[in-house]
């Protein structure tokens, strides 16, 4: 299940960072610069539990409705029961709704519009450790490390910002590298800014002195 995959991804990332700490204060080995590159135009939002979706069926207002995605990932609308919505793009969900509704309506035309939500867990960005307000955030198109820091209120006075670790999964492989939060936030060094990617984990350690 996707939730289990997300949990394993987080656990592996935390374990990797913990191993670095046990080995001393050495930062992760440098990685290919392509690791820090991300084209947001290749990303598509997929529906997550708790999201609100607007189901519009052209010329059929009686079956058009705004519904919330249940914790089990399903939605229920008039004539359509228990359709799995999570993990699908709005367009994919619309095409599936059309197939089901075609049993009752001639050539239904469905549009699914997002009313709000955070997406599935495996596409959220998690900020752990010495952030002012550690939390999980929904990825937004074009989000960068600077945008993420603004969203969490920056780093605490006890943070070792330049030892922060970015954990990222690419093609099923978990990779990591350090990012320079002190340089970015306190020294306004924009060269330390990097694109974020859905599913990223940012771990900010505490300074040892």
pLDDT attached to residue 22:
36
Domain ranges within the chain, ordered by starting residue: 2-43+121-204, 52-116
- Give dist(CA 87, CA 80) in Å, integer: 18
Domain 2-43+121-204 has CATH 2.60.40.10: no
- Give dist(CA 103, CA 84) in Å, integer: 18
DSSP 11-32: HHHHHHHHHHHHT-SPPPPP--
Looking at per-residue pLDDT, the higher value among 27 and 138 belongs to 138
Looking at per-residue pLDDT, the higher value among 203 and 37 belongs to 203
Closest CA to 60 of 93, 118, 108, 102: 108
Segment 104-131 mean pLDDT: 95
Instruction: Give the confidence band of 98 by pLDDT, cuts at 50, 70, 90.
Output: very high
**pLDDT higher than threshold 60 for residue 26:** no
Residue pair 192/145 in contact by the 8 Å Cβ criterion? yes
Paired residues of 165 in beta bridges: 178, 203
Closest CA to 177 of 40, 33, 39, 38: 33
Q: Please give the share of the chain, as a percent, with pLDDT higher than 90.
A: 78
What pTM, to 2 d.p., does this model score?
A: 0.81
Segment 68-92 mean pLDDT: 97
**pLDDT higher than threshold 80 for residue 16:** no
Domain spanning 52-116: which superfamily?
A: wza like domain (3.30.1950.10)
pLDDT attached to residue 17:
47
pLDDT, mean over the chain: 88
CA distances to 74, 143, 172, 173 from 8, in Å? 23, 24, 11, 12
Looking at per-residue pLDDT, the higher value among 209 and 46 belongs to 46
Segment 103-122 mean pLDDT: 95
Q: Tens digit of pLDDT for each residue in 156-200? A: 999 999 999 999 998 888 999 999 999 999 999 999 999 999 999
pLDDT attached to residue 29:
53
Segment 93-122 mean pLDDT: 96
Segment 74-97 mean pLDDT: 97
DSSP 154-201: -B-TTB-GGGEEEEEEETTEEEEEEE-HHHHHTS--GGG--B--TT-E
Distance of CA 37 to the CA centre of its chain: 16
């Amino acid at each position: 299940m996707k939730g289990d995959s997300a949990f394993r991804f987080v656990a592996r990332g935390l374990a990797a960072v913990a191993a670095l700490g046990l080995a001393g204060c050495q930062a992760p080995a440098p990685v290919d610069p392509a690791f820090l590159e991300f084209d947001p135009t290749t990303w598509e939002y997929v529906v997550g539990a708790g999201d609100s979706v607007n189901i519009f069926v052209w010329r059929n207002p009686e079956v058009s409705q705004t519904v919330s995605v249940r914790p089990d990932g399903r939605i229920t609308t008039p004539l359509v029961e228990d359709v799995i919505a999570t993990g699908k793009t709005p367009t994919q969900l619309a095409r599936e709704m059309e197939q089901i509704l075609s049993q009752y309506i001639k050539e239904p035309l469905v549009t699914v519009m997002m009313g709000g939500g955070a997406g599935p867990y495996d596409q959220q960005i998690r900020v752990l450790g010495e952030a002012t307000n550690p939390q999980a955030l929904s990825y937004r198109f074009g989000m960068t490390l600077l945008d993420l820091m603004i969203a969490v209120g920056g780093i605490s006075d006890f943070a070792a910002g330049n030892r922060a670790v970015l954990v990222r999964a690419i093609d099923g492989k978990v990779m990591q590298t350090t990012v320079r939060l002190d340089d970015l936030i306190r020294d306004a060094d924009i060269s330390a800014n990097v694109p974020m990617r859905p599913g990223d984990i940012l771990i900010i350690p505490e300074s040892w002195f």
